[in-house]
Amino acid sequence: MADKRSKQKSKYTLDRQIPGAFEGETITRRRFMTGSANAAGIVAASAIVLPALGFAVGPIFKGTVHPWETVGTVDMFPDNNYIPVVITLSPNIGEAGKSTAYVRKYNPAIDTDPYDQSTPYIAISSRCAHVGCPVRWVDASERFICPCHGGVYDLLGRRVGGPPVRPLDRFYTRVVGEDVQLGGRFSVNSELRRFSPRDPGQALDGIGQYLYPSRPSAPKSS
């Protein structure tokens, strides 16, 4: 068998004694037909599967812009306590698209971290950094407390107890005239260093920021 093969090494079908071979032909017409039928099948299948797949996974790569939203006036917010405001994270779906943020004025005595220097207001997201339940600010204990699994955060939103893996997320703030506006969300690590918005449960300290990379779809401030 091996001998027979080595004898038929010529690339021309005519030399390989194939019946009906043409002069200068290097591939049999049967092989060519099989290959082109398979190729046509692959093209046809891809024409269906690829758009469907792209359609399904497209939202992963679609960038979104979070618009600025007015949540109150400058005299509404004290600098030592939080005022809850309702903001819209996803428009057009009613209550399901709304969320609560806790807002207070920037206080140089409390907000000593270098990353807070430029922000006029501190706006803390109520989304727990464990698995996303809504935390509430408990005035008496000066803590954010999560009802689901007992996550506890301090005045700056840093974790002091329970399962959360990073501090509470924040929103960019700005003042336009007399209005306080909230922009896009950002995440912070335990030193309150800013990162692009992550989902709950994704750590940002140490190796965490590499295990949970920033996503193209993360909403950016306009």
Which DSSP symbol is given to 215? Answer: P
> What minimum distance in Å lies between the beta carbon of 195 and another protein?
12
Region near another protein per CB under 8 A, out of 7-15, 39-47, 67-75, 125-133? 125-133
97-116 residues near another protein, rule: CB under 8 A: 97
Site residues for another protein, 134-153, by CB under 8 A, read: 148
Residue 48 lies near another protein (rule: CB under 8 A): no
| 93 lies in the binding site for another protein (CB under 8 A) | yes
Nearest alpha carbon to residue 197 among 66, 15, 27, 44: 66
Written as six digits, the tokens of 183 are 């922009």
User: Minimum Å distance from CB 128 to another protein?
Assistant: 9
Count of other CB atoms within 10 angstroms of residue 208: 15
215 binds another protein (CB under 8 A): yes
Q: Which residues of 28-58 are buried (b: 16+ CB within 10 A; e: fewer)?
A: eeeeeeeeeeeeeeeeeeeeeeeeeeeeeee
Identify which range of 6-14, 15-23, 58-66, 153-161 contacts another protein by CB under 8 A: 58-66
| Helix (H/G/I), strand (E/B), else coil: 102 | strand
Q: Within 10 A of 180 (CB to CB), how many other CB atoms are there? A: 24
- State the sign of the Cα–Cα–Cα–Cα dihedral 62, 203, 199, 71: negative
Interface pick for another protein out of 1, 23, 75, 92 (rule CB under 8 A): 92
Binding site for another protein (CB under 8 A): 56-57, 59-60, 62, 64, 89-90, 92-94, 96-97, 131-133, 148, 197-202, 211-213, 215, 217-219
